[in-house]
Amino acid sequence: MKLTRRTALKSLGATGLVGLGSFPMPALSQGAAAKTLKFVPQANLANFDPIWGTQYVVRNASALVWDTLYGVDANLMPQRQMVESEEVSGDGLTWTFKLRDGLKWHDGEKVTAKDCVASLARWTKRDSMGLLIGAVQQELTAVDDRTFKWVLSKPFPKMLLALAKNNTPCAFMMPARIAATDPFQQITEYVGSGPMKFAKGEWVPGAKAVFERFADYVPRAEPASWLAGGKRMYFDRIEWIIMPDAATASAALQNGEVDWWEIASTDLAPVLKKNKNIKLDIADPLGNIGSFRFNHLHPPFNNVKARLAVLTALSQEDYMRAVIGDDTNLWKTSASFFTPGTPLYTEAGGEILKGPRNIEAAKKLLAESGYKGEPITCVVAQDQPLLKPMGEVTADLLKKIGMTVDFVATDWGTVGARRAKKEPPGAAGGWHMFHTWHAGADCVTPASYVAIRGNGDKAWFGWPNIPTIETEVAAWFDAKTLDEEKAAIARLNKEAFANAVYAPTGFFQIYQAWRSNLDGVVKGPLPFFWDVKKA
């Protein structure tokens, strides 16, 4: 039998012979083990500022440490979280928020309205919906210790969704002294009011991150639902154990050395399904959309013909088989930027991704773009099992259409830092493209979909400046009926393809896996640790 990556993973995972290598785990007493959750996250926690960047792994950790004013529930509806009540004036211009009583920061200080004002001021500088609110803001001030008001020049009906949404960057609240940090610089102090405290002294990037229960956290009375409701913690300690190798993570889970694996390898799913001590399920029914992200600032991808050349040659099936495998129940091709199966889904303008791939047509477009053979810097995370194979497919694709590939194999933390650079690729340390994925929950509407925007310097990494996209985003926000929303989304999808804002590499679902003695694991776009306990 030919030994491939998939067969190697399956054989190693089946035997459980893969050791933990550089991840020694001392034995715990039975009582301590019951109060400690060992979790294998999707990636290394290389930085920890949920406003500065948009990496999901940072958002997931942040949801433990920092709380939000509102939280979106499993029905994608905003619910009160830190807020006790809100009032909006009849003209829709003044929002008044009152905080719950008894909220504390992890350092023991009381949460105040001034803290929230400072946090919102920082968030509105980085978030797509926050920028929209900031554009119509007249005043954001504290009224008293528990009350603050937001005065606008134009109504913003989706205010509560903006404050509740789960896509990055979420509107996490921080003490005013921390929130005063320049939004384009990372914070260095990690004090929140959420259910867990960050054990900074135990943080070893590349190895582990530790969270400890905050004894003074008072959950809401309502049942937990995604980021809403009562966040009741049954663990004194949550340890994130970084294991980029799938076979190692699988063996650790089967041996009981870890409790929960966020992204379980589809290659190893058959092995895990046979283990009576393991539960395996789809992590999120809304799935994910793979992304080939262009840098619109520098040649050749500042020319739309070069971007369209990639879409003309790109095969979503090639990407999905490389990332997920041959189980077509877990993936599909999709000529859309939006989440399949949701009310606004459309394939308008997506013809470029349908039908046979046309390499010759792609080469012609590339030549017309003015490309002269310069190296294309592809920054590819090798520690992300979803992204490494995407990068390999892309390197082959770009070579086929006549591009010279500068393949930068690195880690996800480095990708997160490098993609923020606007300097030219090459010696200046910039980039031409990187891969990521967007949670389906983020791609249901433009409200939380940062990757679809075309607002130039204020856009997501790659900084596309496409006014026609922004026109349709505004049309969706202004829509008064579902039919008007659908029409705006159809036009938006068409413009996004015509301008190749990015290249969708396919729709896919992934597994999560956990020990069968763990109760309370739910489906969703991020791991929700509240209500999870060991039987």
Q: Identify the burial level of 426 via C-beta atoms within 10 angstroms of its C-beta, where 0-12 means exposed, 13-18 middle and 19 or more buried.
A: middle
Domains detected in the chain: 32-64+186-284+515-534 (3.40.190.10), 66-175 (3.90.76.10), 288-508 (3.10.105.10)
Beta carbons within 10 angstroms of residue 411's beta carbon: 17
Q: What is the 3-state secondary structure (H, E, C) of 360-422?
A: HHHHHHHHHCCCCCCEEEEEEECCCCCCHHHHHHHHHHHHHCCCEEEEEEECHHHHHHHCCCC
pLDDT confidence of residue 70: 98
What stretch of H or E contains 6?
Answer: helix 5-15
The pair phi, psi for residue 290, each rounded to 5°, is -70, 150
The pair phi, psi for residue 202, each rounded to 5°, is -100, 0
Check the CA dihedral 101-102-105-109 and report its sign. Answer: positive
Read off the tokens for 47: 């930085």
Determine the angle formed by the axes of helices 482-498 and 467-478, rounding to 10 degrees.
Answer: 170
Among candidates 342, 322, 320, 346, which has minimal Cα distance to 333? 320
**Residue 133 to residue 138: CA distance in whole angstroms:** 10
**Residue 436 to residue 59: CA distance in whole angstroms:** 15
**Residue 124 to residue 134: CA distance in whole angstroms:** 6
**Residue 234 to residue 36: CA distance in whole angstroms:** 9
Side-chain half-sphere exposure of 518, counting CA atoms within 13 A: 26
Q: What is the 3-state secondary structure (H, E, C) of 175-186?
A: CHHHHCCCCCCC
Read off the tokens for 484: 């008007």
DSSP label of 192? -
Check the CA dihedral 469-345-348-486 and report its sign. Answer: negative
**Residue 164 to residue 79: CA distance in whole angstroms:** 7
**Residue 282 to residue 287: CA distance in whole angstroms:** 9
Residues 6+ apart with CB under 8 A from 521: 260, 279, 281, 512, 514, 532
pLDDT confidence of residue 28: 52
Q: What is the 3-state secondary structure (H, E, C) of 144-191?
A: ECCEEEEEECCCCCCHHHHHHCCCCCCCECCCHHHHCCCCCCCCCCCC
Pairing of strands 278-282, 511-515: antiparallel
CA 178 from centroid of its chain's CA atoms:
23
**Residue 436 to residue 290: CA distance in whole angstroms:** 6
Check the CA dihedral 156-158-163-168 and report its sign. Answer: negative
**Residue 148 to residue 191: CA distance in whole angstroms:** 21
DSSP3 helix / strand / coil % (the chain, rounded to 5): 30, 20, 45
DSSP label of 299? T
Output the CA–CA distances (angstroms, integers) from residue 256 to 273, 277, 304, in the order listed: 15, 9, 51
CA 87 from centroid of its chain's CA atoms:
31
**What secondary structure does DSSP assign to 206-239, as a single string?**
TTEEEEEE-TT----SSPPBTTBS------SEEE
**Residue 418 to residue 423: CA distance in whole angstroms:** 10
**Residue 108 to residue 85: CA distance in whole angstroms:** 24
Q: What is the pLDDT along the chain (535 residues), one digit of tens a residue?
A: 333 444 444 444 444 444 333 444 444 555 677 799 999 999 999 999 999 999 999 999 999 999 999 999 999 999 999 999 999 999 999 999 999 999 999 999 999 999 999 999 999 999 999 999 999 999 999 999 999 999 999 999 999 999 999 999 999 999 999 999 999 999 999 999 999 999 999 999 999 999 999 999 999 999 999 999 999 999 999 999 999 999 999 999 999 999 999 999 999 999 999 999 999 999 999 999 999 999 999 999 999 999 999 999 999 999 999 999 999 999 999 999 999 999 999 999 999 999 999 999 999 999 999 999 999 999 999 999 999 999 999 999 999 999 999 999 999 999 999 999 999 998 889 999 999 999 999 999 999 899 999 999 999 999 999 999 999 999 999 999 999 999 999 999 999 999 999 999 999 999 999 999 999 999 999 999 999 999 8
pLDDT confidence of residue 32: 73
End-to-end C-alpha distance for the chain, whole angstroms: 42
Output the CA–CA distances (angstroms, integers) from residue 464 to 45, 125, 348, in the order listed: 28, 18, 20
pLDDT confidence of residue 11: 44
| Beta pairing partners, 88 | 95
